[in-house]
Structure 1
């Protein structure tokens, strides 16, 4: 046996692990943060001040979802990477608005009538982004179509609630947000329950791809 063969025989076998699916992580993070904020928007249990969601928005809806988006790039899923990274940024930016030290809300102290309109503009921008993501989801599956459709409607109603200062419109947006959160939970569980490791799976309503 040659020296080269001898070295090969003693070389450790390196097994390359397949990258896992970051989808469930991103969807669960999005769903949980959306669920909490939406309950506040409908004023569940009399809670109307949204600041309790700041921690969730920074670390779960924000950081964890951003990480999931970066891992989606690694596995070659541009759609998932764009969605998770962008909504991770949304939650971080929303939390920043609510943090007193950021000075964002304080900047409207002398012109408080501008704040609802400013927040409405902020939410409209995310409605536009979500609508474009909805267009991108049309050939994905029924679950994602429903998710982005309800999320777009949620942003539209929340923006309208800010522009009109009508609490009932904001509550309607919160109600749609709760529905959106449960759809996201369903999508997360569906991707988590892989056929090789689960007793059952949940359908996503796949749409046939173009030839």
Structure 2
């Protein structure tokens, strides 16, 4: 029996859906659709799906030799975990964090996302759309905390909803491609996916 490579499953849809569902829930609150009390459900999602599942998806990108996916999913998984930890355990425990400091937190994530957006331009339009909408979302939410202007928060909420929809779309496109064996929903790839199985994989008896 000769060993052959068995392709690894694509973890991106898991990470994208963890990001999309949690972002959609929080963005509904930011957009003013629900009161701040609804954040408790967002925190549960941030721990279980937006944080944990997305981080797992990032780790699963390592054997696929996908540096961008590894950094993106682990980073945004960590973002959701840090957000949930702050609101659940630390906010108020050592004094309330000034709004301007929270704004800096959001600004730094906006800068990081802007960097990732530049990198995503080499991948495809569907990916770059997500990151393009997301860095605008972070900066709008940061502006809301810097200025105390509710309009910025509402705008950030709507950009967050658009970001979540873009992530939902890409997750669906990648799942359909995996099931059908060909691209069903256009993703606007700049180049074809890397032949992961030719680089790494797990052996199976032929």
TM-score by length of 2: 0.86
Structure number with bigger Rg: 1
Alpha-carbon distance in structure 1 between the residues aligned to 2:117 and 2:153? 22
Are the counterparts in 2 of residues 25 and 65 from structure 1 also a CA contact under 8 Å?
A: yes
* Structure 1 residue 16 displacement after superposition: 5.9
Which structure has more relative contact order (CA 8 Å, sep 6+)? It is 2
Tell me: CA distance 1:202–1:30, structure 2 relative to 1, closer, same or farther (3 Å).
same
Alpha-carbon distance in structure 1 between the residues aligned to 2:187 and 2:131? 14
1:106 equivalent in structure 2: 93
SS of aligned partner of 2:36 = coil
Are the counterparts in 2 of residues 108 and 115 from structure 1 also a CA contact under 8 Å?
A: no
* Structure 1 residue 165 displacement after superposition: 0.9
1:186 equivalent in structure 2: 169
SS of aligned partner of 2:48 = helix
SS of aligned partner of 1:193 = helix
1:34 aligns with 2:34: no
CA RMSD in angstroms, aligned pairs only: 2.1
1:78 equivalent in structure 2: 67
2:199 equivalent in structure 1: none
1:54 aligns with 2:37: no
Alpha-carbon distance in structure 1 between the residues aligned to 2:182 and 2:121? 29
Alpha-carbon distance in structure 1 between the residues aligned to 2:191 and 2:52? 33
* Structure 1 residue 74 displacement after superposition: 1.5
Alpha-carbon distance in structure 2 between the residues aligned to 1:133 and 1:205? 17
SS of aligned partner of 1:128 = helix
Q: How many residues align?
A: 191
1:115 equivalent in structure 2: 98
SS of aligned partner of 1:62 = helix
* Structure 1 residue 15 displacement after superposition: 7.2
Gaps of 5+ in 1: 1-7
2:154 equivalent in structure 1: 171
Tell me: CA distance 1:18–1:174, structure 2 relative to 1, closer, same or farther (3 Å).
same
* Structure 1 residue 198 displacement after superposition: 6.4
The one-character-per-residue Cα deviations of 1:86-117 (angstroms, maximum 9, x if unpaired) are: 00000000001110xx23333234xxxx5211
Gaps of 5+ in 2: 193-206
Alpha-carbon distance in structure 2 between the residues aligned to 1:48 and 1:42? 11
Deviates more, 1:114-123 or 1:178-187: 114-123
* Structure 1 residue 60 displacement after superposition: 0.2
SS of aligned partner of 1:140 = coil
TM-score by length of 1: 0.84
Are the counterparts in 1 of residues 55 and 77 from structure 2 also a CA contact under 8 Å?
A: yes
